[in-house]
Amino acid sequence: MFTSKLHNLCQKLRWPAPANADRREGPDHAPTFHATVAVGPAVFRSPAAPRPRTRKQVRDLAARAAFEDLAGWEAPPQLLPETQVPYKCQLQDYAQKRQKDLPLYHTIQSGPLHLPMFRSTVTIDGRTFESPKDYNTKKKAESAAAAAALMALADQAKPLEKMLLCFTGQRLGAWR
């Protein structure tokens, strides 16, 4: 139960999937198990007592320890470098932080059915951006369109940042 909750939490926060490890000790007629789950740099262990009798139970106990510790964070740490956050997620974050409508994707399929190619456009804040070429998957085409939008929107934001720097004397944080 907590194993799936932990996976869902990691997915929601765009963290790598938890890595489980377990070991068996004792005689065949009365084995005991120990489990650990790693989420980024943090490692959580199943409690020492009482000892569950199955691998599944100890993995769930380790996942429970991780979930209870991580779910309470108000500002979760960034476990993935910023460059590994998918472009579509970055564009959605951009829209949400600026209280704009969410990006709307439109993808066109071309080519034969056995070898389809995709080209995508994304519309955000009334502007439409297109993927620079055709891709072999819809996901890659949408990601390329989102990347094009982010680059254009970042270039548009740079003059504003320079102007604010002149007035305030402070540098704004990295654009996201």
Q: What is the pLDDT of residues 126-157, one digit of tens each?
A: 999 999 899 999 999 999 999 888 888 876 65
- 175 found inside a domain: no
As for how many domains the chain has, the answer is 2
Q: pLDDT grade, residue 84 (50/70/90)?
A: low
Helices (runs of H) and strands (runs of E) counted in the chain: 4, 6
Contact 33, 23 (CB under 8 A): yes
Over pLDDT 90: what percentage of the chain?
23
Check pLDDT > 60 for residue 121: yes
Regarding whether 143 and 95 lie in a shared domain, the answer is yes
Range of the structural domain that residue 130 is part of: 82-168
Regarding whether 138 and 104 lie in a shared domain, the answer is yes
Whole-number average pLDDT of the chain: 77
Check pLDDT > 70 for residue 61: yes
pTM of the model: 0.45
- Provide the pLDDT for residue 83: 47
- Provide the pLDDT for residue 156: 65
